[in-house]
Structure 1
Amino acid sequence: MRLIESIAPFYFVLILAEILYTYKYKLTFYSFRDSITDLSLGTLSRIADGVILLGIVFVYQVLQNSFSFGNFLPLSLVSSKSPISWVILFVLVDFLFYWAHRFAHEINLFWASHVVHHSSEEFNLSVALRQSFVRNLFIGIFYLPLAVFGFSAEAYLITDALNRTYQFWVHTRIIDRLPFWYELIFVTPSHHRVHHAVNPRYIDKNYGGVFIFWDRLFGTFEEEKEEPVYGVVKPLGTFQPIWAEVHVFSDLFRDFRLTKNKWEGFLGFFKPPGFRPSDLPAYPKPKPVSPYSFIKFYPKGKETNGFRFYIISQFIITALSSLIFIKTYGKWSHFEIFVFTYVIVFSFYSLGKALNSQTDVKRYETAKWIFWILIAGYLFI
């Protein structure tokens, strides 16, 4: 996590550079409301990351202490002091990421935690930060075999951070094709544009994080041949970050509640996306999309400079409050953690109301400010 936090400022510098580039050349790669949603989801994911990673590391260390056969392997293969072990670990992490990523598209429960990242109808560097608050819970499970091989938890966390860092820059439309040899081995922006697209030929392709040869090897590779249309097959249709986090979970639990065949409802969590119990109406088949006919979601509300200033200021206030919370929650009581988490989530929910230009936003914004005033009074008076 420390590596990610130290690199994070460079992410924002690159996002700003991409925004300025698109503005200079009049490219429509960014949407103000969508990017604020991306950043809000990135902030929400960081709140949960710490707690989830602590749990994953605890399980990792238990497995390493109890079941590791690393002591029977040459130190050059597993010791963090060996350069060869770092290369092996880097390749293994990406191999496991490929399968975690693939299952995240093929199993409903995992898709519910991954759909957040795909639900943007834009494709730019800010989308790279659009992550689920439970991402680490599901992807961390796939990394646990590394403990059995004897790799230290610290080495695993560093390598995972490097893997994520590589994946940031491939979320861009500015970079076209790269040299053939590079495209043959590594994931590139062209490959990842395919992965985020809902064109029929592109769906569920190019899962690799760093190396594209996994996709070539396991039959999930697709080359970029037509202009991608971004988003998900069932469009999200909102800039509400909280709903973006939970809408597939909501669908799964709703179907479990409605179906009379509870076993099918339970199995639905482990079926492919789009599955419904047999006694419920099937989801309508998605219509094929075309870059020439696809209409992106956008509310009718006016986007004045005053509106943008207010949205940016509210995001910054909430994001900074979240950062302070992340850095200090170890000193707080459980009740204080619960209250602060609730207020942060409520603040992002209210921000989503504003981004959607909903008529009841003033009521939520008023409640939000009352919450923050009460918290300020509690902390400083």
Structure 2
Amino acid sequence: MSNLPDVVIWSIPAFALLTVVEIILVRLHPDEEDAGYEAKDAATSVSMGLGSLFFGFLWKFQDVAIYGVVYELTPLRVPLLWWTLPLLLLAQDFLSYWSHRSHHVIRILWACHVVHHSSRKFNLTTALRQPWMTFTVGFFFLPMVAVGVHPAVLAFCNSLNLAYQFWVHTERIDKMPRWFEFVFNTPSHHRVHHASQGSYLDRNYGGVLIIWDRLFGSFVAETERPVYGLTKNIRTYNPLKVASHEYMAIAKDIKLARSWSERVGRVFRDPGWQPQNGTPVPVSAAPVAKEPAK
């Protein structure tokens, strides 16, 4: 099992080539309203991606330890066969949907994921803008290990899922064939996910498949042009600030909170939560959910 490849690492040359192609297309066929490229923004996204490889390696020690214990304790075993792999990928994508959705609606989890939404541009480098504090993600996939999926197989499925999502971060592709748009996550669906306006907030969490959003009421089709970024943008290109700004905002909110119930709410409620007593809310980069996910 240990010889299964990390698809993300092996895909880096393809990521680089596709990014160069997209930059050329943007220059040759500019769109007045295109989010396009900005040198500082793209450099920040690439820096965040490189940092995520380093910190992701560190967090793997945590996941390997926890997964290893759970895998040894369960008497179940799921073999990696030609017919089990599609089922494993389906299960991983299902859990990925709930992980992604949870990281939007619980503030301490959002503090990790907000990094990926912090760019006001939408291009292939945005896909590289990954968080560094991903220690919360691995717990969502424990059910697969608990039913006997080897941790290395889970890691392989995770890397396939993440690699797929690279190409959906572009405005160069309008719509895919109708049947494809119905089943799979596409650039159109993911543009909605990265938008910061009204009805687009907290929608389209799917990784590979968009059917989970259709089933669980979080799907919205792209109609108006998205406005990318956060409802309160952070206006910085410093990777350290991009990685930590929401954690700092949470700490500030906790310090100014007037009760323990408010402190708990600042950490575990949705990012736009405010106490009913009208306590002033310090400015943070967390989006205010205008319409919560159903």
Q: Fold match, TM over 0.5?
A: yes
Q: Deviations over 1:188-234 (max 9, x none)?
A: 00000000001211110000000000000000000000111000111
**Equivalent residues in 2 for 1:339-350 (5 A)?**
none
Residue among 187, 197, 217 paired with 2:195: 197
Q: Which residue of 1 aligns with 2:254?
A: 256
Q: Give the whole-Å Cα distance in 1 for the aligned partners of 2:230 and 2:205.
A: 16
In structure 2, C-alpha distance between the alignment counterparts of 1:134 and 1:38, rounded to whole Å: 15
Q: Note the 1:82-101 alignment, pairs <5 A.
A: 82-101=81-100
Tell me the residue number matched to 2:11: 7
Query: In the alignment, which residue of structure 2 is the partner of 1:70?
Result: 76
Q: Which residue of 2 aligns with 1:17?
A: 21
CA distance in 1, matches of 2:170, 2:106: 27
User: Counterpart amino acid of 1:102?
Assistant: R
Separation in structure 2 between the aligned mates of residue 166 and residue 128 of structure 1, nearest angstrom: 10
Alignment partners' CA distance in 1, 2:25 and 2:238: 27
Equivalent position amino acid for 1:36 in 2 = A
Q: Does 1:42 align with 2:41?
A: no
Structure 1 partner of 2:170: 172
Alignment TM-score, normalising by the size of structure 2: 0.90
Label 1:118 to 1:150 Cα distance change in 2 as closer, same or farther (>3 A).
same
Measure the CA separation in 1 of the matches of 2:187 and 2:282: 32
Q: Is the 8 A contact 1:274 1:283 kept in 2?
A: no
How many residue pairs were aligned?
A: 279
- Other-structure match for 1:184: 182
Per the alignment, residue 357 of structure 1 pairs with none
1:241 positional shift? 1.6
Distance 2:274 2:282 in 1: 8
Amino acid across the alignment from 1:166: Y
Which one-letter code corresponds to 1:70 in the other structure?
A: L
Deviation at 1:3, TM superposition (A): 2.9
Unaligned runs of 5+ in 2: none
Structure 1 letter corresponding to 2:86: V
- Matched with 1:105 is 104
Equivalent residue runs for 1:155-170 within 5 Å = 155-170=153-168
Identity, % of aligned positions: 37
State yes or no: 1:238 paired with 2:236.
yes
> Which structure has greater helix proportion?
1
TM-score, length-scaled by structure 1: 0.70
Residue 347 (structure 1) aligns with: none
The separation in 2 between residues aligned to 1:31 and 1:147, in whole angstroms, is 42
Maintained 8 Å contact 2:113/2:131: yes
Bigger Cα Rg:
1
Higher relative contact order (CA 8 A, sep 6+): 2
- Amino acid of the residue matched to residue 191 of structure 1? H
Structure 1 counterpart of 2:79, one-letter code: S
Given that residues 46 and 125 in structure 2 are in contact (C-alpha distance below 8 angstroms), is that contact kept between their aligned partners in structure 1? yes
By how many angstroms is 1:283 displaced?
Answer: 6.0
Unpaired runs of at least 5, structure 1: 72-77, 289-381
CA-to-partner distance for each residue in 1:135-191, whole Å, 9 max, x for gaps? Answer: 2x1221101111111011111011100000000000000001111110110000000
Give how far 1:69 is off. 4.4
Tell me how far apart the structure 2 counterparts of residues 162 and 18 of structure 1 sit (CA, whole Å). Answer: 22
Partners of 1:279 and 1:224 lie apart in 2 by 35
Q: For the Cα contact (< 8 Å) 1:259–1:279, is it kept in 2? A: no
